[in-house]
């Protein structure tokens, strides 16, 4: 009987310890290391911009897609409408909604999209400063972040959608096309030679 009491007592300690450990992990699972907005922090990211969410696609293999209309580009290359992928099924996933304005700090996943990280410096604009929980974490307002980025990096030009997506851009001519162009050039030179030659003979 005493043996069962000892086993039960040990099981209670194990379960209590496990419960405390679970609470601890949940409390710190979504916390990120503190960061300061400076040049060294910003150059960790391939792409930094301010933009508004125009559309959002549902989760596909744990990833959602948010299409941003970029207003100001500070770092990297992007088109006016740029796709940002985000994890939408993890406990610490970022909540994005159509119409929201964001400053995005991110890294490219592919040439035409980027992957948003929970612990990046990205932040949403709040009209009411009291609702801005990023201000509590960062110690700076949305407008103060904008002012720093504009001063430190300036405004970059966006890539032209038509130029960037043109299927005929940088296409190397085929062998037949090269031969045809060469023959046309030679024929042009021969015609030009005979015209000049006849002009001088007539004189």
Each residue of 120-167: pLDDT tens digit? 999 999 999 889 988 888 889 999 999 999 999 999 999 987 444 433
Q: How far, in Å, CA of 50 to CA of 69, rounded?
A: 9
Q: How far, in Å, CA of 21 to CA of 123, rounded?
A: 30
User: Does domain 39-161 correspond to CATH entry 1.10.1840.10?
Assistant: no
Per domain, the residue ranges of the chain are 39-161
Q: How far, in Å, CA of 26 to CA of 61, rounded?
A: 24
The residue that leads in pLDDT, 88 or 15, is 88
Are 110 and 82 within 8 A, CB to CB? Answer: no
pTM (2 d.p.): 0.66
DSSP of 145-172: HHHHHHHHH-PBPPBPHHHHH-TTTTPP
Each residue of 51-63: pLDDT tens digit? 999 999 988 778 8
Provide the pLDDT for residue 19: 32
Token reading at 171: 């296409």
Provide the pLDDT for residue 184: 84
The residue that leads in pLDDT, 198 or 149, is 149
């Amino acid at each position: 009987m005493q043996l069962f009491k000892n086993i039960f007592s040990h099981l209670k300690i194990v379960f209590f310890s496990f419960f405390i450990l679970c609470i601890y992990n949940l409390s710190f699972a979504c916390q990120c290391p503190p960061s300061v907005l400076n040049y060294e922090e910003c150059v960790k990211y391939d792409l930094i911009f301010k933009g508004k969410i125009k559309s959002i696609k549902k989760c596909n293999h744990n990833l959602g897609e948010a299409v941003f209309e970029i207003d100001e580009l500070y770092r990297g290359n992007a088109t006016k409408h740029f796709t940002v992928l985000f994890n939408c099924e993890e406990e610490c996933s970022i909540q994005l909604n159509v119409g929201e304005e964001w400053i995005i700090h991110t890294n490219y996943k592919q040439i035409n999209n980027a992957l948003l990280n929970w612990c990046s410096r990205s932040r949403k604009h709040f009209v009411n400063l009291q609702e801005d929980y990023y201000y509590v974490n960062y110690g700076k307002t949305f407008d103060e972040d904008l002012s720093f980025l504009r001063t430190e990096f300036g405004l970059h030009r966006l890539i032209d959608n038509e130029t960037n997506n043109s299927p005929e851009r940088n296409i190397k001519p085929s062998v037949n096309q090269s031969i045809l162009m060469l023959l046309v050039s030679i024929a042009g030179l021969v015609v030009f030679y005979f015209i000049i030659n006849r002009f001088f003979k007539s004189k």
